[in-house]
Structure 1
Amino acid sequence: MYKKDFPFFKNSSVVYLDNAATTQKPKEVVDKVVDYYTNFCSNTHRSNHGGANKATKEFEATRDTLKDFINAPQSKQIIFTKGVTESLNMIASTFAKEFKTIIISSLEHHSNITPWHMQGRTLHKGLEVVNAKDNLEFDFEHFEELLKNNPNSFVSITHVSNAFGVIHDIKKIAQLTHKYNSYLLVDAAQSLAHFEVDVQDLDVDFYAMSSHKTFGPTGVGALYIKENLLEKLPVYQTGGATINDVSFERSIMLDAPYKYEAGTQNIAGVIGFKKALDYLNKITLKEVYKLEHELCTYLYTQLKKVENIILYNDTKNSTGSRSFNIKNLNSEDIGILLDKMHIAVRAGHHCAQPIMKKLNIDGTIRVSIAFYNTKEDIDIFIKGLKKAILMLKD
């Protein structure tokens, strides 16, 4: 139904089931990026000629649209970055750096593990990890125990696991975090494209978002910051477009959000991001969630019928991704054979090696869907999977 809106599917016969890595882009996103580069390619927040004014206006319109998309109180609370990875590193290197204890979950992407290691933190030495239950759900009892023993901490948790699609109850996590005078940063790379987000209702302190995983251009992300923290957050980088006044004696920075956006931004990407959000608003995230829930349920029922399959969690409290292995077969080998059949999935550790090690596996085969996928896509994948299994058993 929706594939017609995406140029990729007109130009490719691939059954694309790797949406957790990146999503395809609707035509209006592609057209807008081309429009910027061909008709008003200019820098923002600097010159006053027509092209520059148009670029600045459209750049800022994305900030306003994203504010409404996540129900942030003010546009100045939206900071543009290169993506979730940069947003996480930004907070880790500034606001969170001085906290004695950092608490993360067992299902984190490497982007929410390695920045803490770069500070010299290791397990039980400045870094604590919340247990995952056998079905990979968040262990709230252990989380509260960690907070009781380490009040005034900084908590950094993924909203949705990129490796397994497990949804963390961020609202409950925020309540416990604030109960113990701690702060919460959320990695929203895998959540923004799948269901409605209200940062005020969730009561998060920081919320890091990705464009390219939300049907927008690559190289663009955004960070929501709670208003009372805007003046407490140190500047991460300085340079052009961040300065109010400079002499050789001192530099006076602009107010938020501009003091956090040094240098020339990915203007085309930011402008294109708005078109992706507009597209989702047109469909509505309620419809997206409904379609994806139906597809995920169908995928799960079909996978359960596959002989010798190993599944790591059910469809309860999960979205987007389904990870599995086939007993005694290598996930990478299966991924390669599926690629030969023009079926795109991801095989490996998915930048989540710690949870793979806990499960005593090298990696998984991950099928990640988007609302434009169909039951036919899943049927083709299941047929291809069974064929790959037979080939590897021979």
Structure 2
Amino acid sequence: MNSVYLDNAATTPMLPEVVSVMQESMLANFGNPSSTHQYGRKAKAAVETARKNIAKHFNVSASEIIFTAGGTEADNLILQNAVMHLGVKRIITSKLEHHAVLNTVQFLEKKHKIIVDYVRVNENGAVVLDSLGEALKKSNEKTLVSLMYVNNEIGNILPIEEVANMCKEHHAYFHSDTVQAIGHYPTDLQKTPVDFIAASAHKFHGPKGVGFAYVKKGIAIQPMFFGGEQEKGARSSTENVHAIIGMDKALQIAFENLLVDETHIKELKNYFVKKVKELVPNAEINGEPADETSYTIVNVRFPVQDKMLLFNLDLSGVAVSGGSACQSGSNKGSHVLSAFLNVEEVQKASVRFSFSKLNTITEIDYVLNQLKKTLKL
């Protein structure tokens, strides 16, 4: 074995079934969905069928799904609309959010002079709900809460229903970046009163460059850029027909196999964590205990300061990450780990291992062996 891919939180390999439906669409649906002739109508019908299929998975109506170029655009569309068109004057968030949220919030704070409150997190990087409650009571300004469902670096899971109900009680909008959760956890948006979510297809074995925003019925969204009336006027740009169809297929497969895939991936993660602790007894798990975090992610802090660890693992054929892939070229380190670890612990080598249903125990054993060699144990 020469290579193992354990960076599925960054992106997942596309499934053959997804590639197949996209290839078929490229040949059959070349028309512009906005065109009124038969080729355009055929492409439009394919997009709307996908929209209806996706909406059913979340128990919402098709009109509440807006197709985007991915999670980052969906987050931006929601956050910017909240301030620019929905009258939001204050955003409550955390310092552990994805930069698609953090950078957008900072832009809105500077550009529109909104108030930004950051909730406290505990020693494991979990949101302190009492802190959220205090922040919600602090002001009567129109408020939006933005907290991610599953943290992309450490896998912490937000008690999303509890947070949603807190927001509802205080008449605050609730937005959740659910990019790491969609396709892995069932989400009934009728039972969980979330106003907005963001999703990205390439996190659940679909294509890159496509995702969606869920916007609860009754909330009017304006486009961030102009040029057309696509997506019911909420998002200008010709729809990425083939990618949308691929996303629909990937999500269908994910939900059809949810329990089987979860069982398999949990076994891989539990086995990996057990063996890592045997291999490196003083290694630590970043975030909540491994059995309480997302079954797809574990972030391990090794008792060494080795800036070459990721590079050397890559040389041995092991693909992993030190944080979110979006920031992999940065020298600033992980903003997530810095939010709850002290300076000494942040300096240690932390590695995010993220699993998918395509991984095997044999691959895990290979990674463990390479870790042993790389760490010179």
Give the structure-2-normalised TM-score: 0.89
1:354 aligns with 2:327: no
Give the equivalent residue in structure 1 for 2:96.
Answer: 107
Residues 13 and 205 in structure 2, CA contact (< 8 A), matched pair in contact too: yes
SS of the residue aligned with 1:116? helix
Deviation at 1:372, TM superposition (A): 2.0
Q: Out of 321, 325, 329, which is 2:301 matched to?
A: 325
Residues 65 and 277 in structure 1, CA contact (< 8 A), matched pair in contact too: no
Deviation at 1:339, TM superposition (A): 1.2
1:239 aligns with 2:227: yes
Q: How does 1:135-284 map to 2 (within 5 A)?
A: 135-151=124-140, 152-229=142-219, 232-242=220-230, 257-283=231-257
SS of the residue aligned with 2:147? strand
Paired residues, number: 359
Q: Out of 64, 70, 84, which is 1:77 matched to?
A: 64
Shift in alpha-carbon separation, 1:290–1:96, aligned structure 2, 3 A: farther
Give the equivalent residue in structure 1 for 2:373.
Answer: 387
Q: Which amino acid aligns with 1:195?
A: Y
Shift in alpha-carbon separation, 1:296–1:121, aligned structure 2, 3 A: farther
Q: Which amino acid aligns with 2:166?
A: L
Identity %: 27
1:120 aligns with 2:112: no
Residues 79 and 224 in structure 1, CA contact (< 8 A), matched pair in contact too: yes
1:367 aligns with 2:325: no
Q: Which amino acid aligns with 1:71?
A: N
Give the equivalent residue in structure 1 for 2:330.
Answer: none
Deviation at 1:305, TM superposition (A): 1.8
Residues 10 and 324 in structure 2, CA contact (< 8 A), matched pair in contact too: no
Deviation at 1:27, TM superposition (A): 0.7
SS of the residue aligned with 1:162? coil
Show CA shifts across 1:159-201 (max 9, x none): 1000001110110001111111101001011001211111111
Deviation at 1:378, TM superposition (A): 1.5
Cα root mean square deviation, aligned? 2.2
1:62 aligns with 2:50: yes
Deviation at 1:135, TM superposition (A): 2.0
Q: Out of 357, 377, 381, which is 2:363 matched to?
A: 377
Deviation at 1:318, TM superposition (A): 0.9
Residues 62 and 271 in structure 1, CA contact (< 8 A), matched pair in contact too: yes
Deviation at 1:343, TM superposition (A): 1.3
Give the structure-1-normalised TM-score: 0.85
Give the equivalent residue in structure 1 for 2:316.
Answer: 341
SS of the residue aligned with 1:164? coil
Any gaps of 5 or more consecutive residues in structure 1? 1-11, 243-256
Deviation at 1:234, TM superposition (A): 2.9
Give the equivalent residue in structure 2 for 1:288.
Answer: 261
SS of the residue aligned with 1:228? coil
In the alignment, the residues of structure 1 paired with residue 34 and residue 114 of structure 2 have an alpha-carbon distance, to the nearest angstrom, of 44
In the alignment, the residues of structure 2 paired with residue 172 and residue 23 of structure 1 have an alpha-carbon distance, to the nearest angstrom, of 30
Give the equivalent residue in structure 1 for 2:35.
Answer: 46
Q: Which moved more, 1:156-165 or 1:39-48?
A: 39-48
SS of the residue aligned with 1:324? strand
SS of the residue aligned with 1:268? helix
Q: Which amino acid aligns with 1:286?
A: L
SS of the residue aligned with 1:270? helix
SS of the residue aligned with 2:190? helix
In the alignment, the residues of structure 2 paired with residue 348 and residue 181 of structure 1 have an alpha-carbon distance, to the nearest angstrom, of 34
SS of the residue aligned with 1:95? helix
SS of the residue aligned with 1:202? coil
SS of the residue aligned with 2:203? coil
Give the equivalent residue in structure 2 for 1:3.
Answer: none
Give the equivalent residue in structure 1 for 2:20.
Answer: 31
Give the equivalent residue in structure 2 for 1:301.
Answer: 274
Q: Out of 4, 9, 15, which is 1:15 matched to?
A: 4
Deviation at 1:348, TM superposition (A): 4.4
SS of the residue aligned with 1:323? strand
Show CA shifts across 1:51-85 (max 9, x none): 3332222111110111011121x101000011111
SS of the residue aligned with 1:373? coil
Show CA shifts across 1:9-31 (max 9, x none): xxx95311110000111111111
Residues 237 and 260 in structure 1, CA contact (< 8 A), matched pair in contact too: no
Deviation at 1:317, TM superposition (A): 2.8
In the alignment, the residues of structure 2 paired with residue 225 and residue 178 of structure 1 have an alpha-carbon distance, to the nearest angstrom, of 15
In the alignment, the residues of structure 1 paired with residue 246 and residue 181 of structure 2 have an alpha-carbon distance, to the nearest angstrom, of 19
